[in-house]
Amino acid sequence: MASVGADRNGFSLLELLLAVMVGCTLVAVIGEALLGELGQSGRLARMLRERTVSERAVELMRSELQEAEEVIVMPGPIERAGCGLAKRKVLLHLGFSSIGSMPRRDVIYSIERSPASIWRGHALMRCGPAYGLDGHMNDSELGSHVLLDALNINGFTMAREGEKSLELRLQRAFSAPNGRLHQLETTAVILVPGLR
């Protein structure tokens, strides 16, 4: 006669329930860790994207500042059709001489508080001729465009660094989906031959 319980084939109900509970707990912990990593990756990707946008804006300004024949920092009030400068704080006025049949071209950088609902915070605006496919300014009509948004109230500053150099500083702030405020600062010292 066989003894009771000597020949068991499988797990008892209690053992199965314990195994399922341990498995579900492990899945929950791993899932939460993966979601946290995805959130962190998203924040890092956004910071990288915003830093790239800031650096592109600085590079455009660097090339125009170095090519301009006349650079006036913080000029007085400027009236320019098509630029809408009445509501803006004018920061830079760049003058480019005429080339061949192209007339003199001016570029004006200014700051405006949220020019439209899609822009965050203060926006750095560029008013001037557009660039052609060849990478040079063309003789098109002046257009006013947002170069960069999410600037702090004093998010664009310039300081002289010597006789012919400017230090540009961009300070941006934007909210993450979790409500935290992220700060981003970009600086560049630029040699400006036409600085007045």
Dihedral (CA of 39, 43, 46, 52) sign: negative
**CB burial of residue 94 (10 Å; 0-12, 13-18, 19+):** buried
CA-closest candidate to residue 184, choices 150, 141, 138:
150
- Record the tokens describing residue 7, joined without a space: 């020949």
51 CB-side CA count, 13 A: 11
Per-residue confidence in pLDDT tens, the chain, 196 aa: 445 555 567 788 888 899 999 999 999 999 888 887 777 777 788 888 889 999 999 999 999 999 899 898 887 667 665 677 777 888 898 988 765 556 678 899 988 887 788 888 899 999 888 888 887 787 766 788 899 999 988 888 888 888 889 999 999 988 776 777 888 899 999 999 888 7
Distances (CA, A) of 139 to 55, 142, 165: 26, 9, 28
What pLDDT, on a 0 to 100 scale, did the predictor assign at position 53? 92
Are the CB atoms for 91 and 158 separated by under 8 Å? yes
Q: State the Cα–Cα distance between residues 23 and 26, nearest whole angstrom.
A: 5
**Strands (DSSP E) along the chain, which ranges?**
70-73, 89-96, 105-113, 122-128, 143-160, 165-175, 181-191
CA distance 123 to 151: 6
What is the DSSP code (8-state) at residue 158? E
pLDDT for 1 equals 47
